[in-house]
């Protein structure tokens, strides 16, 4: 995908903000890669706590990278309005940087205080056996 | 002094949000910043004993702390990616809960430590009760890494340098 | 060219959301479902910025993205508080005993 | 049963997707919405009739001024109804149920909320004040402001939020919002115009006719914001604690 983009850029001959846009696209694609990791982890991992690791971490960095990428891509010139827009997008990034670990912690704590949820692998085997018997 | 600092921070926020520099909108900004300062100035900067110089020093050392934590976030994502994508990574996964006690005193330092632990590879803070942290980790290796206390020392350098001198 | 990038980006985001939707649909516990909803909530903020890029009104859509991110944070806290909002006195005592030993 | 219910859902979803191909292009001048006489009337006459810079604001607060005012009244009445049903007006304190213990406030959540709540409040004021020139306005700003108080109530407990915004002051603020809206209407009536005819306010404001409308609409939006904020928070406080006004969710 990125290779095609490079060729398009090279053909179009637009060079005013070319390196900045290229950096933005690189960040966006990197964010997609990390989101792919989070999504696969969300499916493959065995229990809620490990899925929380995948979702919490992959979500934070991929959202931050994608927003930063779009902040760079939408820069049209170096005027004040353009800079303010970039700073606004970076504000969203900062907010996600603060809020996302908190959300992971909150969900983790809510799950750990719920007695239904097994904590480690050994506990998980025990409780799944129990569940099978009950059914 | 603190309400003034809060007001200035909020006004900076307003200017970034609004992006209009005529007198009418800036006046609206001043009024709404005054209202918000009145409503919730006690929320920001909970610990009011520290002086201005101390705060500026903290802000500067926090800015130096940021690149390190961002690099840790990248490493955490690579770790998750490895676990999700490869078979070996999946097999080495053995989740467990680690308990340790911290020497940090203030609430905000504990908050920064907890969120830093959440952002570093393979660990999520599960519960804080008093000084005791309960952390969920992905493997034995990460547990040993956590118990060396590197993150704690980094946070203590920013917020409580005196606690490092004692030990 | 930026439009192409935005379209590819948005389509890829939507495709990658399918596994998350699978987790919401199957998710053995309610916590898994909330986890998926939260992931989609933060990604929707990105998607709003993508739509803004397509319509050339990023200044307007960024406000929506901020509001969406704020409200998704509030939602996560509300739901987690709701799932263990109050516990019985007896359970509290046994839990403290467990924590003490 | 759960899986059979999936069939109509998928069917309706497919039909909706299929129908969306009939939508006109973005900004198409030939689309039915653009070529109907109503929208051409609004586009042509908004500047002449109302002298307001933004057309959406003109429709919301001028052409449909009564509608918006009575919508605010409906929000107010909803709050009053919940209060009348749930609130314990007698002097004695309601009994706390023995088997319920609220969970202690979480350190990480409270510290995050400390950082986030002032930003939410300033953002809500921004949405309220820039309702003329960008999407937003009284309802949206009020909802965000109410959410900030609800966030405080969630992360500590309800008492903490109620010391910031007591329930009695809530009711006063809600009523004040409607009074502000209706007051602007009555004031323009007293100045010789009709109800909610904002242009007459130029006689008391030191600005031109057009800017008088602009400022009066800001006042109207602030009134809506007051009511929505107060009623949001009062609804949460009463519903989450069954009218006892204490404890967490």
| For chain B, percent of residues with pLDDT exceeding 90 | 0
Q: DSSP class of residue D25?
A: P
Name the minimum distance, in Å, from the CA of D114 to any CA of chain B: 5
User: What pLDDT sits at residue C89?
Assistant: 54
Residue D95: inside a domain: no
- pLDDT tens across D168-191, in order? 888 899 999 999 888 888 888 888
**Residue D151: which of C59, C74, C89 has the nearest Cβ?**
C74
CA–CA dist A23, A5 (Å, integer): 12
Residue with tokens 């909802």: D143
- Count up the domains in chain A and report the number: 1
Compute CA distances C91 → C87, C96, C97, C98, whole Å. 7, 9, 10, 10
Using CA coordinates, name the residue in chain D closest to A88: D123
More confident site: B87 or B17: B17
Mean confidence (pLDDT) of chain D: 81
Q: Is B108 on the interface with D (CB under 8 A)?
A: yes
- pLDDT tens across D224-249, in order? 899 999 999 988 888 887 777 766 56
- Domain ranges in chain B are 2-40, 52-166
Residue D28: inside a domain: no
> Is there a contact between B43 and B5 (Cβ–Cβ < 8 Å)?
no
φ, ψ at B120 (rounded to 5°): -80, 160
User: What pLDDT sits at residue D65?
Assistant: 80
Q: Is C21 on the interface with D (CB under 8 A)?
A: no
Residue D37: inside a domain: no
More confident site: B155 or D146: D146
Using CA coordinates, name the residue in chain C closest to A21: C2
ipTM of the complex, rounded to two decimals: 0.84
- pLDDT tens across B113-159, in order? 888 888 888 888 888 887 888 888 887 777 777 777 778 888 888 87
Range of the domain at A77: 18-121
> Is there a contact between D161 and D105 (Cβ–Cβ < 8 Å)?
no
User: What pLDDT sits at residue D10?
Assistant: 93
CA–CA dist D23, D27 (Å, integer): 11
> Is there a contact between A9 and A22 (Cβ–Cβ < 8 Å)?
yes
Q: Count CA atoms within 13 Å of residue D237 on its CB side.
A: 32
Range of the domain at C21: 2-100
Mean predicted confidence (pLDDT) in B39-68? 81
Range of the domain at D123: 51-87+107-240
Q: Which residues of chain C have pLDDT under 50?
A: none
**Among D183, D204, D186, D182, CA closest to D194:** D186
DSSP D166-225: -HHHHHHHHHHHHHHHHHHHHHHHHTTS-TT-GGGGGGTSSS-HHHHHHHHHHHHHHHHH
Mean confidence (pLDDT) of chain B: 81
CB contact under 8 A, C71 and D147: yes
CA–CA dist D83, D234 (Å, integer): 8
User: What pLDDT sits at residue B39?
Assistant: 83
User: What pLDDT sits at residue D231?
Assistant: 92
Residue A45: inside a domain: yes
User: What pLDDT sits at residue D192?
Assistant: 78
At B20, is the secondary structure helix, strand, or coil?
Answer: coil
CB contact under 8 A, B125 and A108: yes
**Residue D107: which of B39, B40, B110 has the nearest Cβ?**
B110
- Count up the domains in chain C and report the number: 1
CA–CA dist C101, D21 (Å, integer): 65
CA–CA dist B32, B37 (Å, integer): 8
Residue A126: inside a domain: no
Name the minimum distance, in Å, from the CA of A19 to any CA of chain D: 31
User: What pLDDT sits at residue D14?
Assistant: 93
Residue A104: inside a domain: yes
- pLDDT tens across B89-106, in order? 777 777 778 888 888 888
Range from B120-124, D29-33, D63-67, D168-172 that averages highest in pLDDT: D168-172
Q: Is D13 a residue whose pLDDT tops 90?
A: yes
Residue A134: inside a domain: no
How would you write the pLDDT of chain A (135 residues) with one tens digit per residue?
A: 444 554 454 445 444 667 888 888 888 888 888 888 888 888 888 888 888 888 888 888 888 899 998 888 887 777 787 888 888 888 889 999 888 889 988 888 888 777 665 555 554 444 444 433 333
More confident site: C76 or D215: C76
Q: Is D157 a residue whose pLDDT tops 70?
A: yes
Residue A127: inside a domain: no
């Amino acid at each position: 995908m990125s290779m095609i983009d490079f060729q398009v850029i090279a053909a179009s001959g637009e060079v005013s903000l070319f390196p900045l846009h290229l950096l933005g696209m690189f960040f966006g694609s990197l964010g997609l890669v990390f989101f792919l990791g989070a999504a696969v982890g969300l499916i493959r991992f065995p229990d809620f706590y490990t899925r929380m690791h995948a979702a919490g971490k992959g979500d934070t960095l991929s959202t931050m990278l994608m927003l930063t990428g779009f902040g760079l891509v939408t820069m049209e010139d170096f005027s004040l309005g353009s800079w303010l827009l970039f700073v606004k997008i970076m504000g969203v990034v900062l907010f996600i940087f603060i809020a996302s670990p908190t959300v992971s912690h909150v969900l983790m704590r809510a799950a750990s205080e719920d007695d239904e949820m097994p904590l480690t692998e050994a506990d998980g085997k025990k409780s799944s056996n129990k569940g099978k018997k009950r059914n | 002094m603190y309400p003034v600092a809060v007001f200035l921070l909020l006004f900076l926020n307003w200017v970034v949000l609004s992006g209009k520099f005529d007198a009418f909108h800036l006046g609206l900004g001043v009024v709404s910043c005054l209202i918000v300062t009145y409503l919730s100035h006690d929320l920001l900067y909970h610990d009011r004993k520290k002086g201005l110089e101390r705060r500026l020093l903290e802000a500067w050392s926090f800015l130096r702390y940021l690149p390190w934590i961002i690099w840790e976030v990248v490493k955490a994502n690579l770790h998750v990616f490895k676990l999700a994508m490869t078979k070996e990574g999946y097999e080495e996964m053995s989740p467990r809960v680690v308990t340790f006690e911290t020497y940090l005193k203030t609430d905000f330092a504990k908050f920064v430590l907890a969120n830093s632990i959440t952002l570093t590879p393979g660990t999520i803070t599960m519960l804080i009760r008093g000084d005791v942290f309960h952390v969920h980790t992905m493997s034995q290796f990460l547990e040993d890494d956590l118990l060396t206390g590197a993150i704690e020392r980094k946070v203590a350098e920013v917020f409580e340098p005196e606690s490092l001198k004692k030990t | 060219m930026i439009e192409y990038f935005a379209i590819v980006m948005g389509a890829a985001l939507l495709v990658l959301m399918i596994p998350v939707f699978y987790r919401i649909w199957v998710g053995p516990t309610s916590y898994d479902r909330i986890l998926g909803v939260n992931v989609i909530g933060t990604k929707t903020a990105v998607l709003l910025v993508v739509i803004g890029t397509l319509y050339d009104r990023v200044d307007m859509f960024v406000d929506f993205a901020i509001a969406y991110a704020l409200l998704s944070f509030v939602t996560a806290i509300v739901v987690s508080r709701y799932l263990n909002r109050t516990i019985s006195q007896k359970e509290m005592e046994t839990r403290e005993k467990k924590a003490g030993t | 049963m759960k899986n059979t219910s999936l069939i109509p859902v998928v069917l309706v979803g497919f039909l909706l997707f299929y129908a969306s191909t009939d939508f006109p292009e973005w900004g198409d001048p030939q689309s039915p919405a653009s070529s109907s006489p109503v929208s051409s009337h609004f586009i042509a006459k908004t500047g002449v009739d109302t002298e307001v810079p933004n057309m959406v604001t003109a429709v919301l607060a001028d052409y449909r001024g009564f509608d918006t005012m009575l919508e605010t009244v409906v929000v107010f009445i909803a709050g009053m109804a919940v209060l009348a049903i749930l609130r314990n007006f007698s002097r004695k304190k309601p009994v706390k149920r023995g088997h319920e213990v609220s969970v202690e406030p979480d350190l990480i959540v409270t510290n995050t909320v400390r950082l986030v709540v002032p930003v939410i409040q300033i953002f809500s004021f921004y949405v309220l004040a820039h309702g003329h020139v960008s999407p937003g306005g009284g309802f949206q700003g009020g909802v965000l402001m109410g959410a900030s108080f609800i966030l405080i109530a969630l992360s500590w407990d309800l008492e903490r939020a109620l010391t910031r915004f007591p329930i009695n002051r809530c009711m006063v603020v809600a009523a004040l919002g409607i009074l502000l809206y209706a007051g602007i209407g009555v004031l323009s009536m007293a100045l010789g115009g009709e109800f909610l005819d904002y242009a007459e306010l130029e006689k008391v404001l030191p600005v031109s006719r057009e800017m008088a409308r602009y400022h009066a609409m800001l006042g109207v939006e602030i009134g809506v914001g007051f009511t929505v904020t107060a009623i949001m928070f009062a609804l949460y406080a009463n519903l989450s604690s069954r009218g006892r006004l204490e404890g967490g969710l």
